[in-house]
């Protein structure tokens, strides 16, 4: 089966160069260009994912768009025997039409749909360091072993160990924040219940005071209502007797 031709333009095409000293992080750059009228997905893999940090390591390039990728080599103790043994591969495929899930597309892509380009890493030392770091002479057996190892590439996603540690740290931090939020929620619920109980007590106390104020005042020294009702006809009898006496006296004066 013929390999599908790479649609992306990659600069550099064949080698990624890293110039020492290597006791500090060193960054090299890769330029990706999409000269076509199609959207293209890309993913960058490497044989040494723990040694490199790639930003971004995947994405989508729209038609006629370009993107610069930063590839950071982590500090390490340089060994001349490691020259040209690390490799990168840029995989790409034409994005499907319409809406799609990027992760699902990469999972379901067929091998014949993939395009890839490989670049090898070159470690360069300053001139004054080259003589000190010249590699020892290798025996034929060692050369055979090295060629066998370099022939069987183990390309992996370029997300390095530091990225995984960062994700684990973020997950742990989020878990702690979620637990604290749940504790705060429980405290707020308890305080809400206490406030409701206090409001209920205040309402009951207010109702009792209102009933006490609206109740009629009872004087223990006032005569009972029954006695007052019994005195009511006596007043009328006294008035009738007074009128009778007044009539008799008036009759005497007339006669």
pLDDT tens series, the chain, 255 aa: 677 899 999 999 999 999 988 999 999 999 999 999 999 999 999 999 999 999 999 999 999 999 999 999 999 888 776 666 899 999 999 999 989 999 999 999 999 999 999 999 998 887 655 555 555 445 555 555 555 444 446 677 766 555 555 666 667 677 777 877 887 787 888 888 888 888 888 888 777 777 666 655 555 555 555 444 555 566 677 777 878 777 777 666 665
In the 8-state DSSP scheme, what is residue 113?
G
- pLDDT attached to residue 252: 63
A 10 A CB-CB count for 59 gives: 14
- pLDDT attached to residue 182: 80
- pLDDT attached to residue 148: 47
Alpha carbons 29 and 16: distance in angstroms, whole number: 8
- Per DSSP, the three-state class of 99 is coil
The reply to whether the predicted model has a pTM over 0.75 is no
For the stretch 175-197, what's the b/e string if a residue is b when 16 or more beta carbons lie within 10 angstroms of its beta carbon?
eeeeeeeeeeeeeeeeeeeeeee
- pLDDT attached to residue 85: 83
What stretches of 63-222 show up as alpha helix (H) in DSSP?
102-108, 127-130, 140-151, 161-214
Q: What topology does CATH give the domain 9-159?
A: Immunoglobulin-like (2.60.40)
Contact 68, 30 (CB under 8 A): yes
Structure tokens at 158: 């370029």
């Amino acid at each position: 089966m013929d390999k599908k031709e790479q649609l992306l333009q990659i600069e550099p095409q064949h080698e990624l160069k890293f110039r020492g000293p290597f006791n500090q992080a060193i960054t090299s750059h890769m330029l990706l260009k999409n000269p076509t009228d199609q959207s293209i997905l890309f993913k960058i893999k490497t044989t040494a994912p723990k040694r490199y940090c790639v930003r971004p390591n995947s994405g989508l390039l729209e038609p006629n768009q370009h993107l610069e990728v930063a590839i950071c080599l982590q500090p390490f103790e340089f060994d001349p025997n490691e020259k040209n043994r690390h490799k990168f591969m840029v995989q790409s495929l034409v994005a499907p039409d319409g809406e799609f899930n990027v992760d699902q597309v990469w999972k379901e892509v067929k091998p014949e749909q993939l395009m890839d380009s490989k670049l090898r890493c070159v470690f360069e030392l300053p001139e004054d360091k080259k003589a000190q770091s010249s590699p020892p002479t290798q025996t034929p057996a060692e050369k055979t072993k090295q060629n066998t190892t370099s022939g069987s590439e183990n390309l992996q996603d370029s997300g390095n160990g530091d990225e995984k540690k960062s994700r684990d740290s973020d997950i742990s931090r989020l878990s702690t924040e979620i637990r604290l939020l749940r504790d705060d929620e429980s405290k707020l619920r308890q305080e809400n219940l206490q406030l409701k109980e206090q409001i209920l007590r205040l309402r009951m106390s207010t109702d009792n005071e209102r009933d006490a104020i609206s109740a009629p005042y009872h004087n223990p020294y006032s005569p009972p209502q029954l006695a007052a009702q019994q005195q009511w006809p006596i007043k009328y009898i006294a008035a009738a007797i007074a009128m009778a006496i007044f009539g008799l006296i008036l009759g005497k004066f007339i006669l």
